[in-house]
A and B are shown apart, each in its own frame.
Chain A
Amino acid sequence: MVNFLESFLRVAQHADGGYQPILPGLILLFPLVGFVINGLGAFLWRDSKRVPSLVGPLAIIGSFAVVLANFLAMHAAMPHDPAIVSLWTWMAVGDLSIGVDLQFDQLSVLMLLVVTGVSSVIHVYSIGYMREDPGYSRYFSYLNLFVFFMSVLVMGANFAIVFVGWEGVGLCSYLLIGFWYENREFASAGKKAFIVNRIGDFGFLVAMLLVFTHFGTLNFVEVFAAAPETLVFGGGVVTLITLLLFLGATGKSAQIPLYVWLPDAMAGPTPVSALIHAATMVTAGVYLVARAGVLFAMAPVSQATVAAIGAGTALFAATIAMQQYDIKKVLAYSTVSQLGYMFLAVGVGAFTAGMFHLITHAFFKALLFLGSGAVIHAMHHALHQVHRHDDPNDMRNYGGLKNVLPITWGTMWIGTVAIAGIFPFAGFFSKDEIIWSAGSYGYTVLWVVSILTALLTAGYMTRLMVLTFHGENRSGADVRPHLREVPAVMWVPLAILAVLSVVGGWIQIPESLPALPAVDALHHWLEPVMEPARQVMTEHGLHQAHESPLGGGEAVWAIMSTGLALIVVMLTFRALVHRRYRPASESETPTGFAGILYNKWYVDELYDRLIILPLLALWRGCWRIVDVGLIDGTLNAMASGTRMVGWVGSLFQTGRVAGYMFWFVTGVVLILALLLL
């Protein structure tokens, strides 16, 4: 036991620059212990809310504190090489030796900071949101387990450990989407997420095997160091590896063609949507691409694919978000769209910009989800009190909530302007850097798409705000008096995230913006990790242009985009605020183009026709022919053959002693004859 603990607390084996990971094992141990305690609690003290309320959030906050200490230590030392903490050897077979190794470098620590930080806030929020749920303890155990696996994913120092985390978060996602498993629809939403993710995981797994065959190791440090020599730039192998890795990323990060699970994942509790399906798990794909930046830099074809899919997803999902009425669905499609932005960034080679948007998006999307959770919570309680069964998620049942939910209203507006990319909120800086990277690297089409998406983003978010908080209240006269602002345990997290949504972008301010201090903190921070990828790209002639496709510097376009976004917000607001919506039960479904968007471009139906129905037919064939015909047929034939033999044998048992005697003597005579002759 002592040895086991020691390996958890052991410091790095080779670290330079004076940085040594501080208590690395505790980052994992805290959530794991929280999971165990809360998991036991789900069985042992089902009705006690005190233990999970304490253990759940404290486990994550403890983890966050350790990460923060590591961040500060690393910030002081700025090591050039990653520090590897080897806990134990997982498996050693032939040439393959996989250790449970944790990697501490600028990228993983930054990601950990976001993951544990946002998780802490959301855990606290969950105390309020889930207070009346019978599965309270179970909820916190799953949530703790999720943070554990997410940390494994982020800290893993080789593909195998990352894959363990990758599968683990998928499992927790499944468990939490189907948290209210009594509802058949919710349970199958969980299944859908799990199955769609399997397709991506298959890509990850094959990529991992390819890496092993070509490098003989799965350790990130060795693979990325050897990649430029071992593999041919732009060759088939590296392209295949990166495309397969990206297939994994499209599954986990909900990109075309595997994005369909994310909107359905909104069946889970809202804090889960905020944590797993907006801020952390779905960004794992972006993290993976950034982590394997060297490999992607060596495969221009994959890079282009990533960028194109990212941009396509960004625009596609944004159009769908324009016509959704479920508040969480709007945010879900918005998440898919923003993830598309991140992939666009890493696809054009701007890995830091992608990570930047990942961070700011974690803040403002978590804020928006938690805000929507506050609205749903308030609506649910009010509807519950008057025993009505209207949909508390449908924005057509909201309207004018700003008077009853002032704090939620204010913080959500901050999130909205942040995601719309309006100066000086967080989204402005990160989105601007992505748009500028796309433009200045010469990807004109992607640049146009990204600007268009930014405008759509401003549009659908304003629509969400207006439908929810402005205009007349449509919830009904009986419900209205029961609407209340959420308790402090829920609005304080909103406030924290709102502050982060404002200042989160200030870690990276381009110097070309006038009248602002240039801040280069993020680029500087990620420099040691991203440098190899940048070197590869520079060597092969990818130079950064300094103009957008239409001319003008970064500052011009930044001001233009923020101005445009602002105009879109104001126009949408003005156009919608006086429109009379009717409650969901009285409205008819949209028709025409709006109907197509409302029905999500019929993609689910298309997948049904093209993939699921043929597969079902195939499986039905397999069942009828192989299962029933071949396997069952053989078994049944064997069984009836045995019965036949038994039936023939039973004819000898006549009950007549003389008969037995006859056969007995005949047998003896036959055997004797055989022996003697």
Chain B
Amino acid sequence: MDIETYSLILSALLFAIGTVGVMLRRNVIIMFMCIELMLNAVNLTLVVFSRSLGIEAQVFVFFVIAVAAAEAAVGLAIIISIFRHYELVDVDRFNLLKW
């Protein structure tokens, strides 16, 4: 097996860990970090493919990093305001927004 295969397996594992983490954990901060993990797993995939398919894929990586940074800013702000209101970060308690 060459380095690409290992890298892809690694990114798939990272993505799966991130997904499971988002699904199972209740702490918003942890869920948030899991989402970042998923994003970076994708970034890793893109970098791997750029080796064989060309440099354009790395452009996407920068896009994702930029968007992730913005998302982190907004997301953390929301989390902080929620925490100030409830004094906790458990998503199961934030269930008012429904039918």
Contact = CB atoms under 8 A, between A and B. Distances in A.
A657 B32 CA distance: 12
B91 A658 contact: yes
A589 interface: no
Interface string A650-677: 1001111110011001000000000000
A137 B94 CA distance: 73
A656 B95 CA distance: 5
B19 A665 contact: yes
A661 B31 CA distance: 11
Contact of B92 (A650, A653, A656, A661): A656
A662 B19 CA distance: 10
A405 to B, nearest CB: 82
Interface in B76-99: 91-92, 94-99
Contact of A658 (B23, B96, B97, B98): B23
Nearest to B95: A655
Contacts of B23: 658, 661-662, 665
B22 interface: yes
Nearest to B23: A661
A655 B24 CA distance: 16
Contacts of A656: 91-92, 95
Contacts of B91: 656-658
Interface residues of B, number: 14
B96 A655 contact: yes
Contacts of B94: 655, 657
Nearest to B92: A656
B17 to A, nearest CB: 13
B48 to A, nearest CB: 19
Interface string A164-196: 000000000000000000000000000000000
Nearest to A657: B91
Interface string B20-58: 001110100001000000000000000000000000000
A655 B98 contact: yes
A342 B19 CA distance: 97
Contacts of B96: 655
A658 to B, nearest CB: 6
Contacts of A657: 31, 91, 94
- Of B19, B95, B99, chain A has the most CB atoms within 10 Å of the CB of B99
A655 B91 CA distance: 10
Contacts of B98: 653-655
A579 B98 CA distance: 91
A657 B26 CA distance: 9
B73 to A, nearest CB: 20
A661 B22 contact: yes
B11 to A, nearest CB: 15
A654 B98 CA distance: 6
A276 B96 CA distance: 75
Contacts of B22: 661
B95 A658 contact: no
Contacts of A654: 95, 98
A650 B99 contact: yes
A657 B78 CA distance: 15
A665 B22 CA distance: 10
B92 A658 contact: yes
A657 B90 CA distance: 10
Nearest to B96: A655
Question: Which residue among B23, B26, B94 has the maximum number of chain A CB atoms within 10 Å of its CB?
Answer: B23
B71 to A, nearest CB: 16
Contacts of A661: 22-23
A658 B91 CA distance: 8
A665 B53 CA distance: 28
A650 B23 CA distance: 21
Nearest to B19: A665
A638 B24 CA distance: 40
Interface in A476-528: none
A653 B99 CA distance: 7
A364 to B, nearest CB: 82
Interface of A: 650, 653-658, 661-662, 665
26 contacts: A650-B99, A653-B98, A653-B99, A654-B95, A654-B98, A655-B94, A655-B95, A655-B96, A655-B97, A655-B98, A656-B91, A656-B92, A656-B95, A657-B31, A657-B91, A657-B94, A658-B23, A658-B24, A658-B26, A658-B91, A658-B92, A661-B22, A661-B23, A662-B23, A665-B19, A665-B23
Q: Which 10 A-B pairs have the closest CB atoms?
A: A655-B95, A655-B98, A650-B99, A657-B91, A653-B98, A661-B23, A653-B99, A656-B95, A661-B22, A655-B97
Given A655-B95, A655-B96, 5 more contacts: A650-B99, A653-B98, A655-B94, A658-B26, A662-B23
Interface of B: 19, 22-24, 26, 31, 91-92, 94-99
